[in-house]
Amino acid sequence: MAAPDEQELSQEQTEKLLQFQDLTGIDSMDQCRRTLEQHNWNIEAAVQDRLNEQEGVPSVFNPPPSRPLQVNTADNRVYSYIVSRPQPRGLLGWGYYLIMLPFRFTYYTLLDIFRWPWERRRWSRWELPGFALRFIRPEPRGRVTDPVGDVVSFIHGFEEKYGRSHPVFYQGTYSQALNDAKRELRFLLVYLHGDDHQDTDVFCRNTLCTEEVLNFVNTRMLFWACSTSRPEGYRVSQALRENTYPFLAMITLKDRKMTVVGRLEGVIQAEDLINQLTFIMEANQTYLVSERMEREERNQTQALRLQQDEAYLASLRADQEKDRKKKEEEEQKRRQEEAARQIVLAEERRQQTLQEEKERRSESLPPEPSPDNPDSVKIVFKLPNDSRVERRFLFTQSLTVIHDFLFSLKETPEKFQIVTNFPRRVLPCLPTEERPIPPTLKEAGLSRSEVLFVQDLTDD
């Protein structure tokens, strides 16, 4: 068994591939992969489709087949029950039959001509006019365009003629009825209705619509019927190859195939019909019982596998969740470390910029005046760290010079303000909207000797 190509499949696809192979038992990994790809890696859909394929059910994920589900009609053990029409007896009976034969031939021939093409119909094999007319015109029922419409139309026509007291007709196609009977493990009784057969009316009124037949069929099986004059009924007629009418076929699941297990042809009385159907069902009941046991075993095996798969997937999801959380924690830690690193770098860049600005302001300061300069002012600054700094300035210099001097000192905080001792006031050393040009020391009212306090505003 070849291993999947890890380079082409993701981890999730590889796990689905191995899980699908375990559930279906397919040895070929390539076949498993093709099946999953056809179902867009939907493992539930692929497994269900595989089970349907093993049971002979058409895929529910593909378009429905254009032909009905194939039915085995060649079983050599099929039960056949034929009721022959009574033959003419005596000279009088044969004479009446021969006299009426030309009239019957002419009647059915004209009836068929006037009905075609407005009504698609098919003569029974015993009817000579329909057989003869097929040589001069093509069969009009070869194409089935609306099978459900054919069945519904037959049901409405049947009820108009015979009333609503009849076995429940399956309102769907023949293929749908077969699929339902197979899925539900039930018998399917098929009735082909010959519109113009001379025994059809008697059978419908005296047998099919009786209360005992109605109750028996409704409680024991599915019942599908259609007229052979309709394309859907004609197609089923060709598949089941009936010999005469009325025609009934019993179909059930036998050896994994839908098989015709009983054929009833001719006019049969209600009691006899029930007895024959009962005999056919009892003779084939073991096949359905065996199939039910096999399905139950398959369902239990599938349920066990699903439980195991769910446990595996739960464990896998738990591991994946752990891996996800671990990756998230690692990623969060990495982001936090990166954010801290960026903060440190930003602070270093800010301190470097601040130091460069201090140096620039220090270099731009005017020289300190001499003590004997009459315009000089001696100022002692008390810094926030209780240290003192002394320097001389000129009365004519702006308070900005004082601020730049203090800013250039390493001991001075990054943000500060200069305050006089008494009366306490803040010196306007920096330009504002109200005073874009700060005052000079003289304008600020400073004396020749001053003590000023530097207040730290960094926290503010």
Label residue 63 by pLDDT band (50, 70, 90): very low
Give residue 141's pLDDT: 55
Label residue 134 by pLDDT band (50, 70, 90): very low
Q: Where are the alpha helices (DSSP H) in 116-230?
A: 128-133, 147-162, 174-184, 200-203, 211-220
Give residue 160's pLDDT: 94
Least reliable range by pLDDT among 129-133, 265-269, 272-276: 129-133
Residue 419 has phi, psi (to 5 degrees) of -125, 135
User: Tokens in use for 447?
Assistant: 């004396």
Spell out the residues 6+ positions from residue 24 whose beta carbon is closer than 8 angstroms to its own. Answer: 32, 47, 50
Q: CA–CA distance from 302 to each of 10, 23, 83, 124, 294 (Å)? A: 26, 8, 48, 49, 12
Give residue 171's pLDDT: 86
Terminal CA-to-CA distance of the chain, rounded, Å?
75
Give residue 284's pLDDT: 93
Least reliable range by pLDDT among 9-18, 223-232, 276-285: 9-18
User: What crossing angle do the helices spanning 147-162 and 231-240 adopt, rounded to 10°?
Assistant: 100
**pLDDT of 381 strictly over 80:** yes
Give residue 72's pLDDT: 80
In percent, how much of the chain has pLDDT > 90?
A: 44
**pLDDT of 5 strictly over 60:** no
* 406: β partners: none
pLDDT per position as a tens digit, 345-366: 998 998 898 888 888 988 889 9
Q: What is the mean pLDDT of the chain?
A: 82
pLDDT per position as a tens digit, 207-217: 999 999 999 99
For residue 343, the one-letter residue type is: I
Q: Which of 133, 142, 100 is nearest to 115 (CA)?
A: 133
Give residue 53's pLDDT: 62
DSSP state of 389: E
Report angle CA 363, 368, 373 to the nearest 5 degrees.
155
pLDDT per position as a tens digit, 29-62: 888 888 887 766 777 667 766 765 665 444 444 4
Give residue 54's pLDDT: 61
Give residue 423's pLDDT: 84
Residue pair 439/398 in contact (Cβ under 8 Å)? The answer is yes
Give residue 136's pLDDT: 47
**pLDDT of 226 strictly over 70:** yes
Label residue 120 by pLDDT band (50, 70, 90): very low
Label residue 435 by pLDDT band (50, 70, 90): confident
pLDDT per position as a tens digit, 151-164: 999 999 999 999 99
Spell out the residues 6+ positions from residue 363 whose beta carbon is closer than 8 angstroms to its own. Answer: none
Give residue 93's pLDDT: 55
For residue 196, the one-letter residue type is: D
Strands 449-456 and 376-382: parallel
Give residue 17's pLDDT: 86
Label residue 105 by pLDDT band (50, 70, 90): low
